Chain A
Amino acid sequence: MLFLIEDAINGILMGSIYGLTALGLTVIFGVLKVINFAHGSLLMVSMYAAYWTVALTGWHPYLALVIVAPAMFVFGYYLQDIVIKPIFKAEQDVREPITVIIVTTGVWYILDNLTLLLFGPQYRTLQDNPLRGRMLEIGQMLISVPKLWGFAAAVLTASGLYLFFQKTRLGRAVRATSLDRQAASLMGINQYKVYNIAFGIGTATAGIAAVTLVPFYNVFPTVGVLFDIKGFIIVVLGGLGSIGGALLGGIIIGLIESVGPQFMTATWTEAIVYGLFLLVLFVKPSGLFGVRYDW
């Protein structure tokens, strides 16, 4: 029984980190109506950025956040501004511009292969990492400390995003643009700037996720792909565009992955995840927390 609770807790913690990696995906989809296939690659780039920041400066791994999150915001902002915006302008009248998806896929391949070229295929882990393997003992249960911090980061990031979208002038402008880009223009909102900012925010959250992952996860050029596929399932499960949905979707998957192996072979848990995914698509296509009226 105790094992079960321990697994459940660790599953929730890891799941919330999955949710954190998917937050950017759901923000970008919510605003641009585009599935960003480069999201995993952006996470991978963030992980390298975090890794090198820590490796070169010798800082505490979490201190990398002050560099990685702003740097990734700028990276995402200009990626959208320079690479994606021209396609958007060409498809001005389309609500869900499909060609942008192709472009993000191109960005994914370029980033992954560029990283392979620059840093090689080897797995990297932080040396002298104060967090590696750290466990919190509660009675007989062991809880991973870096995952606990990841959970805190996920909850804080999601709440921060929620408040930003609900309460600030810019956040309201982003929501308005996501609902009707032409009407938003008539309110004096520069829709392309909003897209840049949304992309920047989405990429910066990948940066936050990366900083929490690097202390206990290997860094390698295709690490993004693992999180990409999970990310897509999470955001569809939780409801595309829903911030709380991404977090809860991640936690559901984390729970299945960690509690499942107590009852069956670990590989079966994947079948359960995908089975649940299909079931949700059948029963509630808008996702568990998605809004029925739109997407």
Chain B
Amino acid sequence: MSFLEVKHLDVFYGDVQVIFDLSMHVDEGEVVSIIGGNGAGKSTLLKALSGLVPPRSGEILFQGRALHRAPPEEIVEEGIVHVPEGRRLFSLMSVKDNLIVGAYNRRADAVKDRTLGEVYELFPRLKEREAQMALTLSGGEQQMVAIGRGLMAKPRLLMLDEPSLGLAPILVKSIFDTLKKIAQAGTTVLLVEQDVKHSLSLSHRGYVLEHGRIVLEGPAADLLNDPHVKTAYLGL
């Protein structure tokens, strides 16, 4: 049995179906990428996994527990933590308060002081800015807070939605370096990205999502050499 197992998932926004009969899995300790273009359903998939958009049918099993009907707060308690697209920081709260709110769940709250130290070690910049309001930060710093806030929740599975979106190339590289460190520290990572090259080179496996269906899956190295991925996503 896999760490995260998704079976025959159907997700709708109102009457519009976005995800069709999707099955996938993530093993413990893996880094898995989901790649695909705009509107392929990548973000919706993460929202279904984190309980923001409950799936209409299908199953989500995490460490053997069925979570497809659980509310977001219960899913976080189980250890699935979603770092949303566009960062979604609490704009009028300080950097430190943003991070501490990340540790709201009971599991993380008990160890929040130590986790805060670890996050500051990973992002020394945030320590310097801890008293600043989140909305005064630059885009790169905001992304650091978003990832740090996710780590504060003590994730067993960390899901990141487009962490490189809107960042300068040099910052993109540093964000991916950080993700590598997080993965090496033992956190399982599910990564949704448009930056296919960076995300696949970091991952063990990948899924290609098109129009709400998985069209291709396999080891990341194979996907990078796949002719379809090359023409459609790498522009080669």
Contact = CB atoms under 8 A, between A and B. Distances in A.
A111 to B, nearest CB: 31
Contacts of A182: 52, 84, 88
A175 B84 contact: no
Given A188-B105, A189-B73, A172 B92 contact: no
B206 interface: no
Interface in B60-92: 71-73, 76-77, 81-84, 88-92
Contacts of A293: 91-92, 135
Contact of B153 (A172, A188, A291): A188
B50 A186 contact: yes
B100 interface: yes
B93 A179 contact: yes
A99 interface: no
Most buried by B among A169, A172, A188, A294: A188
The B interface, classified by DSSP as helix, strand, loop or mixed, is mixed
User: Contact residue range for chain B?
Assistant: 20 to 34
Contacts, number: 75
Interface in A143-186: 169, 172-173, 175-176, 179-180, 182-186
A187 B92 contact: no
A37 B193 CA distance: 46
A105 interface: no
A113 interface: no
Given A169-B109, A173-B101, A179 B92 contact: yes
Contacts of B102: 187
Contact of B90 (A169, A179, A190): A179
B137 to A, nearest CB: 14
A40 B70 CA distance: 38
A180 B101 CA distance: 12
Contact of A188 (B77, B83, B92): B77
Interface in A169-227: 169, 172-173, 175-176, 179-180, 182-190
Interface in B19-41: none
- 8 residue pairs, one from A and one from B, having the closest CB atoms: A188-B76, A188-B105, A183-B88, A185-B72, A179-B90, A176-B101, A190-B73, A188-B73
